Structure 1
Amino acid sequence: MQLPVFDVAVFLLITLGNVLFGASFFFRNKTAAQFTTGGGKLPAWVVGMSIFATFVSSISFLALPGKAYSSNWNALVFSFAIPIASILAVKFFVPLYRSMNSVSAYNFLEIRFGAWARIYASLCYILTQLMRTGAILLLLALPLNAMFGWNIKTIIVVTGIAVTLYSMLGGIQAVIWTDAIQGIILIAGALLCAGLLTFSMPEGPTQVFEIAAASNKFSLGSFGASLSESTFWVVLIYSLFINLQNFGIDQNFVQRYMTTSSTKKARFSTLFGSLLYLPVSLVFFYIGTALYAYYSAQPHLLPAELSTTGAGDKIFPFFIVNALPTGITGLLIAAIFAAGMSTVSTSVNSTATIFLSDYYKRYINHNPSEKSSMRVLHIASVIFGILGVLISLTLVGVESVLDAWWSLASIFSGGMLGLFLLAFMSKKVRNIDAAIGVVLGVVVISWMSLSPLYFTEENLLKFKSPLHSNLTIVLGTLVIFLVGFLVQKLFANQKNK
């Protein structure tokens, strides 16, 4: 698939402009606080757009329409829990972190349970972000390889260097401002695609809804009580837990709470960014459904290799390249690619911040100068960027390894959320109670995440988790919380006897 030269030029110019714009913030980063929080002076609406862009990665831009095209709107249920989680965030989490005046999301865990909790959570976060960076770089390279014919490993290396460069130079200000611009372009691109699809139907716009309704494309999934299927309830509960994790313990979000000048503005940016995702995700799902109707009414427009059941994720890129006007195609591809770059830059910046606050200042130099802090942030950014590229290169062509990486990521993140909720919701739980809860919780999460990969033979199926994978974080978090709470109660009762 070859794009017109003009589209290629648009893509390259916007991508290069994005990198140079991010790097230009180098001149505004004279202190570590400016690098990690923008000095607490960023506009609330820009931070809100950045939070929105954190939800909408380039992968979501392609994957959500693919889901709607292949099945129905069951995955849209994920968005329904975001308002609940965001309201809890602005009421409890935002003021909690701002009151501690710490850029690290894991300082709170040390205050409650000691240094081990902070090290455990921050190390899990860093490992998760490295996996995420490697996977995103690979997933960005694959469509560019298909559209331009460029070498996958070359794309990964060049993209990794470019993102690391502007992350290192521009700090959080570069990340947030580029996020905001990319978010606006993504929304505009999504609305444009939705409009073109709707008004390109042979029998008019209503044909989209007629074809979609006849194929049950608007279904939100089963409302049954099954825990092994992706029902409405399973997705809703999963969404609530994963978004509590985002708002409560994810450094990407917590760091943004500190970038505005007041708690009121931080609350606004959190609500604005999270609630904006709900209508935009609806547009994404509508695009997938409209694509189904568009190609159902005109099947001759779709190549035979994309007419198979498993081709859902490839339909929207095919439409972008073949159906959009010249120039718009290049713009949209650049926007999707830039959103992926912003996801990687967020990971690079946040991991460098955690290394400075949770390791360098805690164990190497307790009172570093601004020059030393900036040097550590720059070096850490480069190291994490390089590690992300190396991980991505090892994943090229090895899908099973990618599955294993994401399974391990769920193990790390599930343990972090359970520990945070235990610290936040119970003031009596002690250090040892939390440690026992985390150990048992991680065992449960490991079993649920890894058993489907390894217990595949008939005689081992009885050891395989019968629950849907979305419930991994739910069950693991509940085990950590309940075990920690009950152990504390048990020791308290024995002490009183």
Structure 2
Amino acid sequence: MNWLDLVVFFVYLAGITLFGASFYKHNKSSEAYTTGRHNFPAWAVTMSIFATFVSSISYLALPGNAYQTNWNAFVFSLSLPIAALIAVKYFVPLYRKINSPSAYTFLEARFGVWARVYVSACYLMTQVMRVGTILYLLAITINTITGWSIAVIILITGITVLIYSMLGGIQAVIWTDAIQGIVLIGGALICTVYLLFAIPGGMTTVVEVGSEAGKFSLGSFGFELDKATFWVVLIYGVFINLQNYGIDQNYVQRYIASSSDKEAGSSALWGGLLYIPVSLLFMFLGTLLYVYYQSDAGVLPPELQSMDQADKVFPFFIVNQLPSGITGLLIASIFAAGMSTVSTSFNSGATVIYTDYYQRFFNKNGNHKPIVVLYIASAAIGVLGVIVGLAMINVESVLDVWWKLASVFSGGMLGLFLLGAFTQTAVKTGAIVGVLAGIGVIIWLSVVPFLMGTSDDPVLHSYLTIVIATAVIFLLGFVVSMFLGKKDESNLKID
């Protein structure tokens, strides 16, 4: 990186930090900190939801995946309209009716305080791991590009995001998300246009070479359950996105922050749908990189010519092929993708700690300074996330363990939510039985094979774990509740 790239990058980093921190003066109450007094335009919430979908990992992993294989990963995006339409019709009205900053108030009303504590605790553990993982993988990528220390990158990124998200609250998160969403789309478009002009023959060559190599394939349309076929990825995407829209605090908090029911539904719909063309752009970018290097328009060093090194091709291209200044912009784009996801986790995690624990159990009378509690909670999530990221340095196998544990922590959340939202007969005992059975299924399908070393030869693809666990929780919880014969009389469910 030359001086111009450094200037572009650090101007972006300083600018986004100062802009986010400038919302400090608007945060004089817990409502302002967690919902922004419901005073956001629909387009800003839309961009924030979109930016929450896109992390720095998808910014780099999707082009790498397309370079290495094909467009099978894009099938995940095709599931978004299904989940988004269900969310707009059912989930958004439900949460707007409850009108709580926390997504988990609903579960206490349906099943008791145990459900609220269980799911909120799972969420917090998942967010700490998510922050640490994104910081670590982002640092690896930036280290590959710049040679900077991984630990220094983790600390700089974590502290930078923590400063503006802690001081600025949800207003800083949503407005910086909107800017970062625009920056990351712009960076991807610049690379795409550059490659199209750099490849001899342009689009004609891309279609010919890409088609011959099967790069535009969406995967097998067979019905094998142990492979990532089109159908396995599609059903996995539906369930993951239902979990995002239905029970993830990151999304629910944005429904509540919107100024009206109509704008909340519009933002949920378009924030998700915007990810479809952008993820397609990422996949196309990976194919362009493949054609670019196969057509000898560019040359890869020997250590990157193996397909096993596909994730490093895009960073290499950014540093070695783009003009000065543009390289700095692309690195800023990668940071933007990671920062938007991390800032969301800081603010939503602080909201959960304040609403579901401090306010619920320790200060019911309201004799407290909520902003101080929210600052401390946000800082705690940030510090723990940075510690997790630093702990992962030079211990790459830890990543697999973390993701397996994350599936255990989050796996019972969607099934429990659907049980409470869509059934009238579900009762506490049925919900507990369903959740315990679902967690058992997750451990059996994901953790046990990993511990026994049989993960490379699965009976079912790991994508199906959440599908089966959710079905078990919902069906078993419903059946047990039917036998108990108690009908829920509250209106906190979907008719």
Q: TM-score, normalised on structure 1?
A: 0.95
Match of 1:79 in 2: 77
Q: 1:215 aligns with which of 208, 213, 216?
A: 213
Inter-partner Cα distance in structure 2 for 1:298 and 1:311: 18
The residue correspondences of 1:372-451 to structure 2 (distance < 5 A) are 372-451=369-448
CA-CA distance at 1:149 after TM superposition = 2.1
Does 1:105 pair with 2:98?
A: no
Match of 2:491 in 1: none
Inter-partner Cα distance in structure 2 for 1:299 and 1:203: 11
Paired residues of 1:352 and 1:381 also in contact (CA < 8 A):
yes
Match of 2:481 in 1: 488
Paired residues of 1:93 and 1:247 also in contact (CA < 8 A):
yes
Residues 146-155 or 21-30, more deviating: 146-155
Paired residues of 1:18 and 1:338 also in contact (CA < 8 A):
no
Paired residues of 1:447 and 1:465 also in contact (CA < 8 A):
no
Which 4+ residue blocks in structure 1 deviate beyond 4 angstroms? none
Residues 198-207 or 169-178, more deviating: 198-207
Inter-partner Cα distance in structure 1 for 2:483 and 2:46: 44
Q: 2:196 aligns with which of 198, 203, 214?
A: 198
Inter-partner Cα distance in structure 1 for 2:162 and 2:200: 46
CA-CA distance at 1:449 after TM superposition = 1.6
Does 1:254 pair with 2:252?
A: yes
Inter-partner Cα distance in structure 2 for 1:355 and 1:485: 30
Deviations 1:155-185 (A, max 9, x none): 2122222211111101011111111111111
Paired residues of 1:238 and 1:474 also in contact (CA < 8 A):
yes
Match of 1:235 in 2: 233
Quick one: which amino acid aligns to residue 152 of structure 2?
A: T
Q: 1:39 aligns with which of 18, 37, 41?
A: 37
Quick one: which amino acid aligns to residue 425 of structure 1?
A: F
Inter-partner Cα distance in structure 2 for 1:226 and 1:470: 12
Match of 1:268 in 2: 266
Inter-partner Cα distance in structure 2 for 1:124 and 1:204: 49
CA-CA distance at 1:300 after TM superposition = 5.7
Deviations 1:171-203 (A, max 9, x none): 011111111111111112212211111121123
Q: CA RMSD in A?
A: 1.5
Inter-partner Cα distance in structure 2 for 1:6 and 1:248: 44
Match of 1:24 in 2: 22
CA-CA distance at 1:150 after TM superposition = 1.9
Paired residues of 2:181 and 2:337 also in contact (CA < 8 A):
yes
Inter-partner Cα distance in structure 1 for 2:218 and 2:202: 25
CA-CA distance at 1:338 after TM superposition = 2.2
Match of 1:343 in 2: 341
Paired residues of 2:183 and 2:336 also in contact (CA < 8 A):
no
The residue correspondences of 1:269-284 to structure 2 (distance < 5 A) are 269-284=267-282
Match of 2:493 in 1: none
Paired residues of 2:408 and 2:443 also in contact (CA < 8 A):
yes
Q: 2:179 aligns with which of 173, 178, 181?
A: 181
Paired residues of 1:433 and 1:487 also in contact (CA < 8 A):
yes
Quick one: which amino acid aligns to residue 125 of structure 2?
A: L
Paired residues of 1:408 and 1:449 also in contact (CA < 8 A):
no
Match of 1:158 in 2: 156
Inter-partner Cα distance in structure 2 for 1:282 and 1:398: 32
SS of residue paired to 2:100: coil
Match of 1:124 in 2: 122
Inter-partner Cα distance in structure 2 for 1:204 and 1:47: 37
Inter-partner Cα distance in structure 2 for 1:299 and 1:394: 40
Tell me, which stretches of 5 or more residues in structure 1 are unaligned? Answer: none
Deviations 1:42-88 (A, max 9, x none): 11100000101111111111110101000001110001110111011
Match of 1:313 in 2: 311
SS of residue paired to 1:427: coil
Inter-partner Cα distance in structure 1 for 2:485 and 2:353: 37
Deviations 1:97-130 (A, max 9, x none): 0111101101110010000000000000000000
Quick one: which amino acid aligns to residue 460 of structure 2?
A: L
Inter-partner Cα distance in structure 2 for 1:239 and 1:367: 42
Inter-partner Cα distance in structure 2 for 1:200 and 1:155: 32
Match of 2:490 in 1: none
Inter-partner Cα distance in structure 2 for 1:328 and 1:309: 26
Match of 1:294 in 2: 292
CA-CA distance at 1:148 after TM superposition = 2.4
Q: 2:113 aligns with which of 83, 99, 115?
A: 115
Match of 1:471 in 2: 464
The residue correspondences of 1:135-150 to structure 2 (distance < 5 A) are 135-150=133-148
Inter-partner Cα distance in structure 2 for 1:300 and 1:242: 38
Paired residues of 1:66 and 1:315 also in contact (CA < 8 A):
yes
The residue correspondences of 1:315-330 to structure 2 (distance < 5 A) are 315-330=313-328
Identity %: 58
Inter-partner Cα distance in structure 1 for 2:338 and 2:147: 19
Paired residues of 1:451 and 1:465 also in contact (CA < 8 A):
no
Quick one: which amino acid aligns to residue 462 of structure 2?
A: S
Inter-partner Cα distance in structure 1 for 2:478 and 2:194: 54
Inter-partner Cα distance in structure 2 for 1:221 and 1:198: 25
Quick one: which amino acid aligns to residue 453 of structure 2?
A: T
CA-CA distance at 1:204 after TM superposition = 3.0
Paired residues of 2:144 and 2:315 also in contact (CA < 8 A):
no
CA-CA distance at 1:446 after TM superposition = 1.3
Cα 1:201–1:378 shift into 2, 3 Å: same
Paired residues of 2:199 and 2:297 also in contact (CA < 8 A):
no
Q: 1:167 aligns with which of 165, 168, 180?
A: 165
CA-CA distance at 1:265 after TM superposition = 0.7
Quick one: which amino acid aligns to residue 162 of structure 2?
A: T
Inter-partner Cα distance in structure 2 for 1:217 and 1:149: 31
Quick one: which amino acid aligns to residue 412 of structure 2?
A: G
Q: 1:453 aligns with which of 437, 450, 457?
A: 450
Q: 1:366 aligns with which of 364, 367, 373?
A: 364
Inter-partner Cα distance in structure 2 for 1:456 and 1:254: 38
SS of residue paired to 1:74: coil
CA-CA distance at 1:365 after TM superposition = 0.2
Residues 320-329 or 228-237, more deviating: 320-329
Quick one: which amino acid aligns to residue 19 of structure 1?
A: T
Deviations 1:301-360 (A, max 9, x none): 111111002111111111111111111110111121122112111111101000110000
Quick one: which amino acid aligns to residue 257 of structure 2?
A: T
